[in-house]
Chains A and B, each alone.
Chain A
Amino acid sequence: MLAVRNLSKSFGSLKAVDNISFQVHAGEIYGLLGPNGAGKTTTISCVCGLLKPDAGGSELEGIDLAEDPLAFKRRIGVVPQEIAIYGDLSAQENVSFWGQLAGLHGRDLRRRVEDVLEIVGLQDRMKDRSSKLSGGMKRRLNLAIGMVHNPRLLLLDEPTVGIDVEARINILKVIRDVVKSGTAVLYTTHYLEEAQDLCDRIGIMDKSCILAEGSLDELRRMVGEGQILTLRGAFSADEFRGVIVEDGGVRIVTLEDGYAMLDVRVERGEVSAVLGRILGQGISVDDISIQEPSLQGVFLKLTGRELSE
């Protein structure tokens, strides 16, 4: 449905997005997961036609953004990272204004405005000035505006930042429901759990590139299928390699001086056997952790850093 091809965008000498490509299919939530400054918002801005990319482009249902921007924009709904609403208008007036810009009018418009406010649970507060709404409610209004015209593709830029758990659950539920009707969603986030729980496919983005892409399982398989054993200490990589024999049960995911990540594909009892072998050989280890394979591990493997909240 959406195809982004070889997209690049620089601000002066800073490359914010560097030659990225990905696709989002109908009825799918595609997550762009990455830390602050990875280039997620820049990607979204290029895809929604707000920024002119230096190279590459986007195509939605066969319509090229550069060739027919209005037709392209008619099919997308954008929910910006910063809440963009008019504080002096009510929730209803806000949604109605953006609906009109999207081409709705008359009874259609009124019905969609009501529907979408109900979907995000703001029907009781729709007459209130939106500056009076709570942060979470504003977030939901921000989301409602993007959905009012039933877009084929929703671009959601960190739509749950800075709100409480309940509001977050509400927003995620709304997004899941929207997708059921065949809408495609491009979702950016820096929350691991969100990407894990919500997205059908995930692109891991760091320093303006997409480093890896796939479903959660595919990504997990990159680090391993067993337990992930992480060790830190005063050992050298060579020393460590001498001790560990990679066989069916143990695989080295990452290894450098003082840091090792192992995929131990065996029963839990075997983990202690592996540990015993390492410690028995006099390798000095300060810190050990055992984890299920997770996106965190994938991110760590790809970037050498943890993705923190």
Chain B
Amino acid sequence: MREPTVWIVIRKDLLRRLRSPLASIVYLLFPFVFSGLMALAFGSGGGGGIPRVQVAIVDQDAGIISRFVLSVFSQEQVSRFFETTQTSAEEAMELVEKNKVAGAIIIPKGFSEAVLDRRETHLKVIKNPAQSIGPMAIEEMAEMIAQILDGGAKVLAEPLERIMGLARGTDSTAPRMIQGGFPTDEAVAEIAALVNRTLRSIRHFAFPPVICLERTQILAASQDAADQAESAAKSAAAGSSGDGGEPDEEEGTSRLVLIFSYVLPGMATFALFMLALGFMADIPRERNIGTLARQLTSPVHASGIIAGKILSTVIMGLLVAAAMAVIGALLLKVRADLGAFALLCLAFLGAATGFLTLVFGFARSEQQGSTLASIVIMVMAMVGGSWIPLNSLPSFCRMLAPATLNYWAITGFQEIMISGAGIVEIAQPLAILFTVGIVGTLVGSWIVQRRLMQGA
């Protein structure tokens, strides 16, 4: 008897994921690293105690992109770890030689133009040989920025150019836009920077040294946290019942845990969504390299091949979610209803893959589909509470939030983690997510199949 096609395809895809596990590991660690950073940034009040890496920045370019690079270093989370001095090239060398800074980043003349034109260019990094961790951190930071710029310039070339036009006043709509209360140049540049950074944010954790650096901080913090898990649980309970006062200064670490567990579901949801995107983009990718067409020349039904792709993505998502749960449980000592957790993960992954099948069904190319999907995922993450907790969002976001998949997943996860909810209590998120999943999957696979048979 021949095996079901779905199963053959799933086994093949799981084997492929196993062969290139880096992507899955990145998705897995991302929420912890990021939540940890958030917890540190917002929780440890003033950032005392963490020695900052001193870095000299030489801006020979003075263009829109170099402004972006500078603004990255002034971002809250980043400025917790780096202290920058803007200076000239000669002075930067002197600072390095005198061991005053861990290193220098030089943005050469013409850098912005090159990035926007997508020509090759360099961010120069000078490392201080007298220091060890600092220079490495600077190098990785520079590499991360390069990655963001590379990806961002590709994906966002158009909006960037437009924003540039606005900034220079060359855009014909500039006066009107500004009159209409449009944000200042800096704000626009910052928005562009933010979009860029968030779009590619997952990338920077792919560089082990960055993870190392950041993880040392988190582990140190959560070690303290674990010691005070009891009081953390108490204040968590107090927080959710709504009567609790502000935690005192002494309870700083328990506040860390609270923030951590508050932010984690949002980050985890986002990471799982990105995982689904990365793996579902296989549909156009395999269409490009011809393996999809080749499968269709086999004596099997197209539906089995597409179902295999969807299910293997869901299974990978469940595996990563399970690993997240284990790490979360170890770090935060959270007890949760496993059945409810598993079912919610399944529902969310189903909805995410269903939605993505639909996107890739319509998209004309991998580039187009991935760009469209990333933008939608970013917006959903923003509005749905993945980045900023729902109750801190402006009211119009809170109104839109229920239209996002993230919102329902996060609401469910928080109920499970913080209020100890079971399956019955999260029936509404489950029902909504499953519905989206089923509809998206059915309609999406139908479109994908039809397009394949037309040779598109």
Where the two chains meet, the residues of A that have a C-beta atom closer than 8 Å to any C-beta of B are 11, 45, 48-52, 69-71, 73-74, 76, 78, 80, 82-86, 88-89, 93, 97-98, 100-103, 105, 129, 145
* B290, B293, B297, B298: residue with the most chain A Cβ atoms closer than 10 Å: B297
Given A70-B299, A73-B299, A85-B8 contact (CB < 8 Å) = no
Q: Name the segment of B13-21, B89-97, B362-370 touching the other chain.
A: B13-21
Given A51-B455, A88-B16, A105-B2, A97-B8 contact (CB < 8 Å) = yes
Whether B5 and A50, one on each chain, are in contact in the complex, defined by CB atoms closer than 8 angstroms, is no
- Closest residue of chain A to B304 (Cβ to Cβ) is A101
User: Which residues does chain B contribute within 8 Å of A73, judged by CB atoms?
Assistant: 297-299
User: Which residues does chain A contribute within 8 Å of B296, judged by CB atoms?
Assistant: 49-50
Whether A98 and B294, one on each chain, are in contact in the complex, defined by CB atoms closer than 8 angstroms, is yes
Whether B290 and A80, one on each chain, are in contact in the complex, defined by CB atoms closer than 8 angstroms, is yes
Give min CB distance, A128 to chain B, whole Å. 12
Instruction: Give complex CA distance A84, B300 in Å.
Output: 17
Closest 6 CB pairs of A and B: A84-B290, A101-B298, A73-B299, A74-B299, A78-B297, A84-B294
Q: Is B12 an interface residue (CB 8 A)?
A: yes
Whether A88 and B19, one on each chain, are in contact in the complex, defined by CB atoms closer than 8 angstroms, is yes
Q: Mark B420-456, 1 if CB is under 8 A from A, else 0.
A: 0000000000000000000000000000000001110
User: Which residues does chain B contribute within 8 Å of A100, judged by CB atoms?
Assistant: 3, 8
User: Which residues does chain B contribute within 8 Å of A84, judged by CB atoms?
Assistant: 289-291, 293-294
Partner of A103, one of B12, B290, B297, B299: B299
Where the two chains meet, the residues of B that have a C-beta atom closer than 8 Å to any C-beta of A are 2-3, 5, 8, 12, 15-16, 19-20, 289-291, 293-301, 453-455
Instruction: Give complex CA distance A73, B16 in Å.
Output: 26
Whether A48 and B16, one on each chain, are in contact in the complex, defined by CB atoms closer than 8 angstroms, is no
Whether B291 and A86, one on each chain, are in contact in the complex, defined by CB atoms closer than 8 angstroms, is yes
Whether B299 and A45, one on each chain, are in contact in the complex, defined by CB atoms closer than 8 angstroms, is no
14 further contact pairs, Cβ within 8 A, besides A69-B299, A84-B291, A100-B8: A45-B455, A50-B297, A70-B300, A73-B297, A73-B299, A74-B299, A78-B297, A80-B294, A86-B291, A88-B19, A97-B12, A98-B298, A103-B2, A103-B299
Give min CB distance, B27 to chain A, whole Å. 17
Instruction: Give complex CA distance A82, B286 in Å.
Output: 12
Instruction: Give complex CA distance A111, B297 in Å.
Output: 22
User: Which residues does chain A contribute within 8 Å of B298, judged by CB atoms?
Assistant: 73, 98, 101-102
User: How many CB-defined contacts (below 8 Å) exist between A and B?
Assistant: 68
Whether B289 and A49, one on each chain, are in contact in the complex, defined by CB atoms closer than 8 angstroms, is no
Whether B299 and A85, one on each chain, are in contact in the complex, defined by CB atoms closer than 8 angstroms, is no
Whether A101 and B455, one on each chain, are in contact in the complex, defined by CB atoms closer than 8 angstroms, is no
Whether B293 and A80, one on each chain, are in contact in the complex, defined by CB atoms closer than 8 angstroms, is yes
Give min CB distance, A200 to chain B, whole Å. 24
Instruction: Give complex CA distance A11, B3 in Å.
Output: 36
Give min CB distance, B8 to chain A, whole Å. 5
* B8, B19, B294: residue with the most chain A Cβ atoms closer than 10 Å: B294
Given A52-B453, A86-B291, A102-B299 contact (CB < 8 Å) = yes
Give min CB distance, B7 to chain A, whole Å. 9
User: Which residues does chain A contribute within 8 Å of B8, judged by CB atoms?
Assistant: 97, 100-101
Whether B293 and A93, one on each chain, are in contact in the complex, defined by CB atoms closer than 8 angstroms, is no
User: Which residues does chain B contribute within 8 Å of A50, judged by CB atoms?
Assistant: 293, 296-297, 455
Identify 27 residue pairs between A and B in the complex whose beta-carbon atoms are under 8 Å apart, listed by A's number.
Answer: A45-B455, A48-B297, A50-B293, A50-B455, A51-B455, A70-B299, A71-B299, A73-B297, A73-B298, A73-B299, A74-B299, A78-B294, A80-B290, A80-B293, A80-B294, A84-B291, A84-B293, A85-B291, A89-B19, A93-B15, A97-B8, A98-B294, A98-B298, A100-B8, A102-B298, A102-B299, A145-B294
- Closest residue of chain A to B5 (Cβ to Cβ) is A101
User: Which residues does chain B contribute within 8 Å of A85, judged by CB atoms?
Assistant: 291
Whether B16 and A89, one on each chain, are in contact in the complex, defined by CB atoms closer than 8 angstroms, is yes
Instruction: Give complex CA distance A145, B296 in Å.
Output: 14
User: Which residues does chain A contribute within 8 Å of B19, judged by CB atoms?
Assistant: 88-89, 129
Instruction: Give complex CA distance A276, B313 in Å.
Output: 77
- Closest residue of chain B to A9 (Cβ to Cβ) is B455
User: Which residues does chain B contribute within 8 Å of A51, judged by CB atoms?
Assistant: 455
Given A86-B12, A100-B3, A101-B8, A49-B297 contact (CB < 8 Å) = yes
User: Which residues does chain B contribute within 8 Å of A74, judged by CB atoms?
Assistant: 299
Give min CB distance, A17 to chain B, whole Å. 12
Whether B295 and A101, one on each chain, are in contact in the complex, defined by CB atoms closer than 8 angstroms, is yes
User: Which residues does chain B contribute within 8 Å of A93, judged by CB atoms?
Assistant: 12, 15
- Closest residue of chain B to A75 (Cβ to Cβ) is B299
Instruction: Give complex CA distance A101, B295 in Å.
Output: 8
Instruction: Give complex CA distance A123, B299 in Å.
Output: 27
Partner of A82, one of B2, B290, B299, B454: B290
Given A78-B297, A82-B290, A102-B299, A88-B20 contact (CB < 8 Å) = yes
Whether A82 and B289, one on each chain, are in contact in the complex, defined by CB atoms closer than 8 angstroms, is yes
Instruction: Give complex CA distance A78, B296 in Å.
Output: 10
User: Which residues does chain B contribute within 8 Å of A76, judged by CB atoms?
Assistant: 297
